[in-house]
Chain A
Amino acid sequence: DADVTQTPRNRITKTGKRIMLECSQTKGHDRMYWYRQDPGLGLRLIYYSFDVKDINKGEISDGYSVSRQAQAKFSLSLESAIPNQTALYFCATEKTGDADTQYFGPGTRLTVL
């Protein structure tokens, strides 16, 4: 079984809809991250969390919110989706003090029409 899972893997939605993307991990890591990837722009950090209830904004947090109710789960919400939020979204985990490596989920491809 994959250590970092994301659901759904693909989602098509309409402008104005509320969307939630889920990330779960079995690695026991304390840190979790949400990134979005757009062609030619690499990965950009949306939000990150160093522990349960700890939430920090990344470089592109506008239009997004997150929730970290349990160490293993980190969810990303788009309150009112817009077309320029169409992208590939990745969750990643990291263990404090453990070689600084991030472990990525398989991604969620989101299309906002």
Chain B
Amino acid sequence: SQQGEEDPQALSIQEGENATMNCSYKTSINNLQWYRQNSGRGLVHLILIRSNEREKHSGRLRVTLDTSKKSSSLLITASRAADTASYFCAKRSRSNYKLTFGKGTLLTVNP
């Protein structure tokens, strides 16, 4: 079974708006990571948040983690057309240390 289901599956916004994507998971995690994939290309690591952290920032990215709700969110502020991509969350299991990817959110930023 796959952990880390992203929500929404697809999101379309205008340039300059903020984009928020959510990720839920089922079992205990060591950390949660977000990756980006441009169409048909390899995934690129964006940001990692550990289970004892609640919020992290990297440039225009803000990630939050709520372990009580088993959920995380990725916020991209002031979006640009170049942010158009699929975004995946990946959970590092606390028990077997495997990294499990969700199905992704397809973000389209319209100029």
Contacts and interface: CB of A to CB of B under 8 A. Distances in A.
B48 A99 contact: yes
Interface stretch (A11-19, A39-47, A71-79): A39-47
B11 interface: no
A90 B42 contact: yes
Interface in A3-47: 4, 35, 40-45
B101 A104 contact: no
B88 A105 contact: no
A107 B45 contact: no
B80 interface: no
7 contacts: A44-B2, A92-B43, A99-B48, A100-B30, A100-B31, A106-B41, A109-B40
B43 A90 contact: yes
B85 interface: no
Contacts of A105: 42
Interface in B53-111: 88, 90, 92, 98-104
Contact of A45 (B43, B98, B103): B98
Contacts, number: 46
Interface residues of B, number: 21
Contact of A107 (B30, B41, B44): B41
A41 B1 CA distance: 11
B45 A102 contact: yes
B40 A40 contact: no
Contacts of A104: 42-44
Interface string A77-100: 000000000001010100000011
Given A101-B33, A102-B99, A109-B40, A43 B88 contact: yes
Sort A-B residue pairs by CB-CB distance and give the 5 closest, nearest first.
A104-B42, A42-B103, A43-B101, A104-B43, A101-B45
